[in-house]
Structure 1
Amino acid sequence: MEEEFAYKDISELKKEFEGMKGRKEISTTELHDAVQKLAQTMTDMLEVFGAAAEQMQLEEKEHEASARKHEMMLSKLDRIIDQNKTIAEGMVEIVEMVKEKLVPAKEETMFKPREEPFFKPRLEPQLFKPQPEWQPRSEPAQRTQPIMPPYQMPTPQMQQPMMPPPLTTPPSAPDFGMPPMEPTPSPDLDFEGLDLGLEEEPKKKGLFGMFKK
């Protein structure tokens, strides 16, 4: 607004000067008034220029402050970028070191022959085999021996050769897991020395009494 006002004042003064030039006679009062107006407009213009200069200075200060802020931000970003770069390089070096250590270890495990122990545990021979625990077997049902009638000696009237009675097999003993016993020899049935007198009656003997001497 001030600039527009100053521009209008200058245009008006210019018109007045042109009008004064066309006149032949100019009074001193009119000239004095015109000079005062010109001075006033000049002071107004100077004030306007001063205000504009102050405004420009303030804008420059704000710009400088913002520029400083931007510079600080840019410097911080540069530091962060450098730190990230160093961290990435360190991580790459660590990965390469780990790879260098792991690859030879794998090759050694693949091509390394299997080492046998210096001392092998000796297997002691088993001298005695463990025998199974003795368990009683179920005893078979004993056969009932048929009761034989008592054997009677023949009378002396019958002079016939005597035949030995049939031998009955004794019942088999129960098997308790023991080795079988050897068979006992059959008794010698010798009847030559038998006294067949008529005075004494022969004693009745049982089946087991015949073999008893």
Structure 2
Amino acid sequence: MVEEDYELFPRREIEKLKEEVELLKRNPIGTTPVGKDLLSSVEQLNSSINNMLELFKNAADQMKFEEKEKTDSAARIKELEEKLDKIIDQNYKIAEGVVAIADMVKEMKKKPIPKPVSHPKPIPPASPSPLGPTPVGPSPSPPPLGTPPTGLDFPPPLGTAPNPLGPAPPPPPPAPSIMPPPKPEKKGFFGKFKK
């Protein structure tokens, strides 16, 4: 065996060195002013990183909430669009009906309304004789040839004879004009959302 040189140290110094080694293991920076500054800087950095992580977490939560709100509002907007499409379709059908009625009214105004023609009814004979009534008294003599006939010898023209049923009823009043209903006041698209 090779013998090495060695020195003897007092036990206190060895104990002191062991304590310093343990202290350095626990606090490698040490108690120097530079070490203290470095330690406080690391603590501030740690606090800042924690704050930044909290901020990112809040931002992520806010983005999730906004995304959910966006999908909810998109669904509501889709529902409103469907309702508006139905209303537009109904308005289109109503407009077609109004135009058809207006065309019918124009056609009715262009065509003259046929008035009922009253034909006088013949006066029934007073006697059951098929040849007509028999005059009481002297019979009128026929006019001589060459004289113009008078209006008394002929029956009155049609339409001038008195109606035995009474006067003819007046013609019916003209049909009332069918006017489209007044247009409702438009509120606009954004008037629906006012409360």
- TM-score w.r.t. length of structure 1: 0.37
> Is the radius of gyration larger for structure 1 or structure 2?
1
- TM-score w.r.t. length of structure 2: 0.39
